[in-house]
Amino acid sequence: MQIENKKPLIVAFCCNWCSYAGADLAGNNRLNYPAEVKIIRVPCSCRVNPMFILRAFQRGADGVILCGCHPGDCHYTSGNYYTRRRMALLFSMLDYLGIERDRTRVEWVSAAEGAKFAATMNDFVEKVTALGENKRLEDLRCKK
Amino acid sequence: MQKISRETLIEKAKELLQNGTVSSVLGWKAGEFSYDVTPATFNSVEELEKDFVYNDFCGANFSKYLVKATIKAEGKILVFLKPCDTYSFNQLLTEHRFNREKVYVVGIPCEGMVDVEAIRKAAGEGIVSVECTNDGLVVDTLYNGKVKLAEQDVLLERCKVCKSKKHVAYDELLGDEGEVIESKRFDEVERLEKMTPDERFAFWQRELSRCIRCNACRDICPACTCEQCVFNNPKSGVENKAAANSFEEKMFHIIRAFHVVGRCTDCGECSRVCPQNIPLHLLNRKFIKDIDNFYGEYQAGAEVGSRAPLVNYTTDDIEASDAVRKGDGENA
Amino acid sequence: MQRIGVFVCWCGSNIAGTVDVQAVAEALKTEPGVVFSTNYQYMCSQAGQDIMKQAIKEHNLTGVVVCSCSPRMHETTFRKTAAAAGLNPYMVEIANIREQCSWVHKDMPTGTEKAIILGKAAIAKVNLNTPLTPGESPVTKRALVIGGGIAGIQTALDIADAGFEVDIVEKKPTIGGKMAQIDKTFPTLDCAACILTPKMVDVAQNEKIRIFSYAEVTDVKGFVGNFTATIKKKARYVKEDVCTGCGICTEKCPQKKVPNEFNLGMDNRRAVYIPFAQAVPKVATIDPDHCTMLKTGKCGVCAKVCTAGAIDYTQKDEFIEENYGAIVVATGYNPISMDKFDEFAYNQSKDVITSLEYERLMNAAGPTAGKLLRPSDGKHPHTIVFVQCVGSRCSACDEKGKEYCSKICCMYTAKHAMLTRDKYPDTDVYVFYIDVRTPGKSFDEFYRRAVEDYGVHYIKGMVGKVMPEGDQLKVRASDLLANKQINIDADLVVLAAAIEPDKSARPLATMLTASMDTNDFFTEAHPKLRPVESPTAGVFLSGACQGPRDIPETVAQAGAAASKVIGLLAKDKLTCNPCVASSNEIMCNGCSSCANVCPYGAITYVEKEFRQPDRTTLVRRVASVNEAVCQGCGCCTVVCPSGAMDLKGFANNQIMSEVDAICK
């Protein structure tokens, strides 16, 4: 298959206080993960609108992962609890529409969990790579 | 149960108009054909007697009309609401979309409304007229002549799986208080859940690719009362209008369904008005089923002021990955 | 169109080792809006910053993208640089090509490709950035201290000392708290009243301090610098400003059988009472649950004997509203209930008592006038057993106790044992312990004196059961060091009950939107670096409401909280984070979803007039964000169905443009 040589495109939304710092720590400790992962910084995981995720898929992302503080540790006290509900419902809906469930994920990564961040990204990229290209949600008009 | 008649409603409306309780009436009047009744405002007894219609085709949910109507109206508006409509009514009140003081609600009992598409299927094309009698429908068609149909066989999908005969809001009730009823409305969602992802994808591809982006579902939806819809807002980034390829529709319908999560009362208007007969209610019902499943049963609009599941949380809610997997367990 | 300058940093070889910085600068040159692109060895150095400043001026830049280390590292630095060159600091965006690129990828082509994409995303965002200005809010120069124990007293005195007004709200009729009930204090053994009561008097006499005793805070609104608290002054049926505290009413009141809470119910008080002789304010209070006059309308003795005419049976609860700039929580602690600890026979025998009750028994103003007498028969006890860790350090599954160490019990038990042996050398004193924890100044020396100089028997092991038998208590315990069971016939058993936060703390936390841990202790903004601040701005923590602590620690923390309050009140204006939510009123539906999810209560609704196309006016309910309260999480933006709510600095279109740039 031609999928073999095409690298997937992964968008990772990371909250400023925990997961983005966790990603920085992974860097500090030189823990490798694939360059396919591109991080977008948001103040809190609850800032991520489902529209952003759909937009990423529309534009050809093969996987979208959302990282936030562990439940109970949110810098804004309750943001990630709302994130959890929204994403539970959104991902369940995408699954219902027949979108491969391994293309989406929520992971709680603290500022101290650089290793977890790297491991999560390695695992996620591996799963998405196995799925091949995102054909079900991309929008051909957005292809160049 | 005795069906409510046009005369009873006109009489009630007249009484309320004449004693000054209300200054206008939201009701139905005849359209081009007997089966396409249209919502209309009546300001006088004369108008009522002349144009007011009530029959098995009066399925429209009037709740949403109140958002705009209450702004214009000087006095109170009389609105006839079926049990399912009252849930939308409450939900709109919860969201402060209109002033309760400006509305007089008369709850009317409902045994289900009929679907002209179902009639067309049963009686054939070329419907000339439909007469609603006490023992069924008499359909006059161009090709098959007069065909008699039982109402039960041609009900709207939402009426076949009616979830409640109870009015959750009213000022006055015609007939008896109904009950919330056991409904099979999630059966179809479950059927889809049991399919493989590929089958589900194929199903939705087939259904949603028919969408012509006429926006009828959005325009009729009582939860879609935004001052400006994101799909009309060039700044929102999702405003594309023309149906260009399959993704467009998926994006539109996922976003639309997500916007009404926890606010959708499952009134079924979206599917009723869809000119392409896309079962849009199956998207909303999936969300409702998931909410019931993950966070405990929640019926939007059952109470005014209740907190929708997406503006609420508990510290031990299900994780997103487990939520997706939970579908698996049921499939097995 | 923006005029954007791109600055790619090498960070020595940290970035340049895996990213071809020259290629990145070159590639980004052609991105929309970019008019200048360069690279330099160390952008954060003075020379690097000068390059940026010069470029901003020379090329008339309206936006800056720095491809460098994490924004958590140098975002502030580069914002300041931009500001120094006359650019709005919020027009600067960082592309993180060190921590999230060069350090995690190994080969040059991969690193360079990713760095270019990250740079493009940052450029796409800056294209949509708008200059932001931090807002300002005024500060009410008055503090509220909730709780009038030693923590609240010290905080209030320190704040007042700096010249700011302070109100203390205390739910009991007098301030003083637990310390007023304590006899002597470890490790110096000075009498608690002798060091506390002068401070209470200071509070009463300080012109800057008002005391609302017998009062509770029932509602708090507002935000840092601008709180409004509703205080409920409970009816005490005595005019506070008229009562002279002479105490005649408390002697004449015929209702004599009211358990005296100050002595933990070990003796009785009247229905009209002054908790103790040094109470502040020294004013009588009528207990409505026991007053015959208030219950049946017949009696009125106190009114008859009161020469000042201070009694007023018609008094009602009074609610007052006050504005504050800062709030200090000092709600303190209580010993836990011993009801669930049947093994110690606390409810079966009067001679099994808690340490706080023992404290009252030893106190000269206590129920026995300081003589050590058994509560059951008033006889002098000869064998006393102290049990430590009752309800402290329990396993997580144990429902009757607490997981944490109550911290103060080891020391006060040593104190009790020592004082007992000192005053009554004819007594045998046993202390059962799991560990003895004495890490404080002069603490271990104190404990060792109890063992070595005063002959207190310290036994490592727990008491299994206490059985009342005749007028004695059979104590069955284990001695872990000798590995044997021991039985002691005791005359008195004293339980070192665990301590827990006061019950009023939980509803108060809800009112203040301050967070609590699972034990209902208030959590601090940072356990190490911001230990006296709550995560809610303007709310500070003092004393045992935050965790078990002794008097010196409490006083130290009270002073620390006070200094934080003073720092806040000394400001005339507070600067707010400009990256806050804002609502587009034209699109707002007024549905309340945003207000429902806001963790800070920053969103309120206003009725706003709108001109319609047909020239009529329409009044609609729309959301309004209080920028001083909003912390910028953005939760509201996602629940808003119409997209009316957006977050400055992280706007919908900005994030989407980043998504687009990455997915190109």
pLDDT in tens, C62-74: 999 999 999 999 9
Give the pair of three-digit tokens for residue A29.
Answer: 């400790």
Taking CA atoms, C218 is separated from C148, C167, C226, C231, C232, in Å, by 16, 15, 17, 6, 6
**DSSP calls for A109-138:** --TT-HHHHHHHHHHHHHHHHHH-S--SS-
Residue C469: enclosing H or E segment and its boundaries? strand C463-469
Closest to C8 measured CA to CA, from C97, C99, C81:
C97
| Burial class of residue C502, CB neighbours in 10 A (0-12, 13-18, 19+) | buried
Phi/psi at C83 (5° precision): -65, -40
Contact B254 A94 (CB under 8 A): yes
| pLDDT (tens digit per residue) in C291-315 | 999 999 999 999 999 999 999 999 9
Is residue B144 within 8 Å of B166, Cβ to Cβ? no
- Rounded Cα distance between B292 and B275, Å, is 30
Residue C216, pLDDT > 70, answer yes
pLDDT exceeding 70 applies to what percent of chain C? 100
> 3-state DSSP call for residue B95?
coil
pLDDT score, position A3? 44
Greatest Cα-to-Cα distance within chain A, rounded to the nearest angstrom = 47
- CATH number of the domain at C634, please: 3.30.70.3270
Look at residue C597 and tell me if it is in a domain. Answer: yes
Of B19-23, B246-250, C562-566, which range is least confident? Answer: B246-250
Contact A88 B247 (CB under 8 A): no
Give the pair of three-digit tokens for residue B163.
Answer: 């979830």
| pLDDT (tens digit per residue) in C249-279 | 999 999 999 999 999 999 999 999 999 999 9
**DSSP calls for C373-393:** --TTT-PPPSEEEEEEEESSS
Same domain, C420 and C460: yes
Same domain, C600 and C551: no
Look at residue C462 and tell me if it is in a domain. Answer: yes
Q: Which chain C residues are within 8 Å of B101, Cβ to Cβ?
A: none
pLDDT score, position A123? 97
- Rounded Cα distance between A62 and C629, Å, is 38
Residue B244, pLDDT > 60, answer no
Distance from CA of A103 to the nearest CA of C (A): 15
Where residue B245 falls among pLDDT bands split at 50, 70, 90?
low
Count CA within 13 A, CB hemisphere, residue C352: 26
Same domain, C245 and C183: no
Strand partners, C185: C190
Phi/psi at C26 (5° precision): -65, -45
Q: Is the dihedral of CA C435, C440, C445, C451 positive or negative?
A: negative
Is residue C345 within 8 Å of C249, Cβ to Cβ? no
Is residue B74 within 8 Å of B26, Cβ to Cβ? no
Same domain, C381 and C431: yes
Residue C196: enclosing H or E segment and its boundaries? helix C192-205
Contacts of C534 (CB under 8 A, 6+ apart): C329, C512, C514, C515, C522, C523, C524, C525, C540, C541
Is residue B88 within 8 Å of B114, Cβ to Cβ? no
Where residue B73 falls among pLDDT bands split at 50, 70, 90?
confident
- CATH number of the domain at C213, please: 3.50.50.60
Look at residue C653 and tell me if it is in a domain. Answer: no
Is residue C65 within 8 Å of C95, Cβ to Cβ? yes
| pLDDT (tens digit per residue) in C529-584 | 889 998 788 999 999 999 999 999 999 999 999 999 999 999 999 988 899 999 99
- Rounded Cα distance between B184 and B162, Å, is 8
| pLDDT (tens digit per residue) in A61-79 | 999 999 999 988 888 888 9
Contacts of C122 (CB under 8 A, 6+ apart): C65, C67, C93, C94, C95, C658
> 3-state DSSP call for residue C623?
strand
Strand partners, B107: B81, B173
Where residue B232 falls among pLDDT bands split at 50, 70, 90?
confident
Contact B287 A93 (CB under 8 A): yes
Which domains, ranges and CATH numbers included, belong to chain A? 2-135 (3.40.50)
Contact C662 A21 (CB under 8 A): no
ipTM score here? 0.95
Same domain, C382 and C312: no
End-to-end Cα separation, chain A, in angstroms:
22
Residue B330, pLDDT > 60, answer no
**DSSP calls for C120-149:** HHHHHHHTT-------EEE---EEEEE--S
User: Position C476: which residue type?
Assistant: R
Same domain, C432 and C346: yes
Contact C618 B71 (CB under 8 A): yes
Residue A1, pLDDT > 60, answer no
| pLDDT (tens digit per residue) in C174-190 | 999 999 999 999 999 99
- Rounded Cα distance between A106 and A68, Å, is 8
- Rounded Cα distance between C270 and C287, Å, is 9
- Rounded Cα distance between C211 and C231, Å, is 12
- Rounded Cα distance between B122 and B293, Å, is 37
Note the residue count of chain C: 664
pLDDT score, position C136? 87
Alpha helices in A4-113 (DSSP H): 19-28, 50-58, 79-96
- CATH number of the domain at C92, please: 3.40.50
Same domain, C345 and C484: yes
pLDDT score, position C516? 81
Neighbours of C113 (CB within 10 A): 18
pLDDT score, position C54? 97
Contact C593 B308 (CB under 8 A): yes
Of C39-53, C388-402, C429-443, which range is least confident? Answer: C388-402
Give the pair of three-digit tokens for residue A75.
Answer: 């810098």
Of B91-95, B203-207, C330-334, C407-411, which range is least confident? Answer: B203-207
Last residue of a domain, one of C470, C500, C530: C500
Q: What is the mean pLDDT of residues C215-227?
A: 91
Give the pair of three-digit tokens for residue C267.
Answer: 């003796």
- Rounded Cα distance between C528 and C532, Å, is 10
Structural domains counted in chain C:
5
Residue C6, pLDDT > 90, answer yes
Alpha helices in C59-90 (DSSP H): 71-84
- Rounded Cα distance between C474 and B217, Å, is 80
pLDDT score, position B327? 60
> 3-state DSSP call for residue C562?
helix
Peptide bond into C281 cis (omega under 30): yes
Q: What is the mean pLDDT of residues B171-189?
A: 91
- Rounded Cα distance between C2 and C131, Å, is 12
Structural domain that includes position C101: 4-126
Where residue B331 falls among pLDDT bands split at 50, 70, 90?
very low
- Rounded Cα distance between C639 and B258, Å, is 10
Taking the Cβ of residue C308 and every Cβ of chain B, the question of whether any pair is shorter than 8 Å is answered with no
Neighbours of C568 (CB within 10 A): 21
Neighbours of A24 (CB within 10 A): 25
Q: Which chain A residues are within 8 Å of C98, Cβ to Cβ?
A: 27
Q: Of the candidates B255, B290, B317, which has its C-beta nearest A54's C-beta?
A: B255
Same domain, C351 and C491: yes
User: Position B134: which residue type?
Assistant: N
Same domain, C470 and C558: no
Closest to C246 measured CA to CA, from C209, C212, C272:
C272
> 3-state DSSP call for residue C458?
strand
More confident residue, C385 or A136: C385
pLDDT score, position C352? 97
Can you say how many angstroms the Cα of residue C142 is from the centroid of all Cα atoms in its chain? Answer: 18
Q: Is the dihedral of CA C85, C86, C90, C95 positive or negative?
A: negative
Look at residue C657 and tell me if it is in a domain. Answer: no
Taking the Cβ of residue B228 and every Cβ of chain A, the question of whether any pair is shorter than 8 Å is answered with no
Smallest CA–CA distance from A140 into chain B, residue:
B245
| pLDDT (tens digit per residue) in C460-487 | 999 999 999 999 999 999 999 999 999 9
Is residue B94 within 8 Å of B306, Cβ to Cβ? yes
Of A56-60, B227-231, B327-331, C273-277, which range is least confident? Answer: B327-331
pLDDT score, position C513? 76
Residue C38, pLDDT > 90, answer yes
Residue C399, pLDDT > 90, answer no
Interface of B with A in 261-300 (CB under 8 A): 261, 283, 286-287, 290-291, 294-295
Where residue B248 falls among pLDDT bands split at 50, 70, 90?
low
| pLDDT (tens digit per residue) in C134-186 | 988 899 999 999 999 999 999 999 999 999 999 999 999 999 999 999 999 99
Q: What angle in degrees, to the nearest 10, is found between the helix axes of A50-58 and B246-259?
A: 170
Alpha helices in B54-147 (DSSP H): 65-72, 83-94, 116-123
Distance from CA of C187 to the nearest CA of A (A): 38
Size of interface B-C (CB pairs under 8 A): 57
pLDDT score, position C135? 86
Give the pair of three-digit tokens for residue B313.
Answer: 């949380």
Last residue of a domain, one of C91, C108, C126: C126
Same domain, C490 and C383: yes
Look at residue C663 and tell me if it is in a domain. Answer: no
Q: Is the pTM of this model over 0.80?
A: no
Neighbours of B12 (CB within 10 A): 18
More confident residue, C601 or C520: C520
Residue A143, pLDDT > 80, answer no
Same domain, C341 and C476: yes
Taking the Cβ of residue C644 and every Cβ of chain B, the question of whether any pair is shorter than 8 Å is answered with yes
Look at residue C510 and tell me if it is in a domain. Answer: no
Is residue C525 within 8 Å of C534, Cβ to Cβ? yes
- Rounded Cα distance between A99 and A91, Å, is 9
More confident residue, B283 or B210: B283
Q: Which chain B residues are within 8 Å of C605, Cβ to Cβ?
A: 96
Same domain, C223 and C159: yes
3-state secondary structure C525-556: CECCCECCECCCCCEEECHHHCCCCCHHHHHH
Give the pair of three-digit tokens for residue B68.
Answer: 């705009």
- Rounded Cα distance between C632 and C645, Å, is 12
Q: Which chain C residues are within 8 Å of B96, Cβ to Cβ?
A: 590-592, 605, 621
